[in-house]
Structure 1
């Protein structure tokens, strides 16, 4: 059983779209338990739509406001296994760091998304958490992305690329011009290696890197631009192979999945399913252990 705390007020169309997503998720997974965090009327709408047998798998945490901190607190207290929210990203990141705590060495947690590509999938981080990253933050994004690729997607020796405006040395702003030297020498978990500079087109093609590292501002712009283009023209992958439109917050001591503010019911359901799968595989704990072990070896 996976116990997921769901923020009922998160999203542009909340609570209606969250109610829809929660109903879809509950009916699709008989081993799911939802705790709906929000005002009583929104929670009652979900419970009322469920069959009597399904209602035993749904509880409520009545919180008229501050639903995201309330949901994080459930995980911190051991009353839930993961949080799903489509609310304000900044609130989710700050609440997760405060209620769950950050991993040692991680100053800026990263929102990690998976995008469809012509060659399969690519892991992109950050997509909105740390919008004004420095070299230390992007180096940590490289570690986090490599560990995520290795543990969750079982990619052997993931290739980590740095997003910039050209693949020739010296391209980009001051940060992108100085960072490659650091990344070349940076020990990465999972046998990962720095694969060099990548451009936006490389993200669509998916052949140059398994993990693409950038700041949250650029990553969010790229993510939303690609999603809109894919919605108009179709994604470069079969529909059944599309990853969920949700991001995992890496760097905090708990499973936190953030969906888009414009998410529809199926997107919320997919985010809940992602959170449940990550919990069942103990993915966040395994990633943390891998990073801890890799840094210990590097420090030796």
Structure 2
């Protein structure tokens, strides 16, 4: 079964998950962003998620939140807001299965995007089932934006697919190139494959088999495959704008770099740091995944990132570059 990608479909009837606060909306107003927030996602949930939701709501007067989770956690957000701000909060009370219910808010037209710091596998599975996958994307990819000495770089996958085959990484190369073009504004993105050396033949069996496929692969946004890159190229950012790897290696690299940057500072200290959040590419909606160890400011940044992606219609623009207009629910 296929259906249009979220953003091109009229909102369906909202299926009630639980009690809702005054001011519930089913259609977003111009300039608003309706973000579903998984209150139980994260190692320190719900407290840290409540903190992040409050920060995000107070920082963006055009933000509307649907808080999905237990009543006491949702009430903590409402109690801390001014009465006028409470009108921008919808509560979806559910004691469990919060990610699936939050994804359904997007599928049914009640929210524009989802933010969760919960289990990555659960989030990816719920998004794929409820929102559908783009044609040819059997395994969606989590794409993170990293600061580098030369600017910003897209790293994918960072945790969704830990054991991909060559065809999966080839699809991820296309997703990453479109993402770099739309979100980072890169003209003719350079796509590299992460391995242990830049010389031909370096790496494990998968990394040795993939270059011939990438060399012949048509990439969107006039992107081009530039060959093998190493870990130092990810920090410097001068060799590639997109770095493709498996989710296991990408997650290890991401967490190591973030810890190093926290201790020593990023390689370009005068630039704004991108949010510590990843966009799930290949599903029919905007799904942002934060670290399980995310702090309140991290969650707020993730919510702000999701709102910006929605306002720029980024997921639809990426799909357009890849010539996808529908998703599959098979």
Scaled by the length of structure 2, what TM-score is found? 0.88
- Specify which structure has the higher proportion of helix: 1
For 1:192, the equivalent position in structure 2 comes to 223
Alignment match of 1:178 (pick from 209, 231, 245): 209
Gaps of 5+ in 1: 294-300
Matched, 1:248 2:279: yes
Per-residue CA shift, 1:71-116, capped at 9, x if unaligned? 0000000000000000000000000000000001100000000011
For 1:157, the equivalent position in structure 2 comes to 188
Gaps of 5+ in 2: 1-31, 325-330
Could you tell me how far 1:149 is from its partner in structure 2?
A: 0.7
For 1:227, the equivalent position in structure 2 comes to 258
For 2:4, the equivalent position in structure 1 comes to none
Could you tell me how far 1:240 is from its partner in structure 2?
A: 5.0
**1:206 and 1:105 mapped to 2: Cα distance?**
29
Could you list the runs of 4 or more consecutive aligned residues of structure 1 that deviate by over 3 angstroms after TM superposition? Answer: none
Partner-residue secondary structure (3-state), 1:241: coil
CA contact (8 A) 2:166 2:206 kept: yes
Matched, 1:24 2:28: no
**1:277 and 1:145 mapped to 2: Cα distance?**
18
Matched, 1:273 2:304: yes
Could you tell me how far 1:192 is from its partner in structure 2?
A: 0.1
Residues 239 and 35 from structure 1, CA distance in 2 versus in 1: closer, same or farther, beyond 3 angstroms? farther
Matched, 1:201 2:232: yes
Could you tell me how far 1:238 is from its partner in structure 2?
A: 2.3
Residues 120 and 72 from structure 1, CA distance in 2 versus in 1: closer, same or farther, beyond 3 angstroms? same
Could you tell me how far 1:151 is from its partner in structure 2?
A: 1.1
Partner-residue secondary structure (3-state), 1:146: helix
CA contact (8 A) 2:106 2:114 kept: yes
Q: CA RMSD in A?
A: 1.0
| Equivalence map 1:119-130=2 (5 Å) | 119-130=150-161
CA contact (8 A) 2:286 2:310 kept: yes
Scaled by the length of structure 1, what TM-score is found? 0.97
Matched, 1:146 2:172: no
Aligned residues: 294
CA contact (8 A) 2:152 2:184 kept: no
| Equivalence map 1:1-300=2 (5 Å) | 1-238=32-269, 241-292=272-323
**2:150 and 2:180 mapped to 1: Cα distance?**
15
**2:54 and 2:270 mapped to 1: Cα distance?**
22
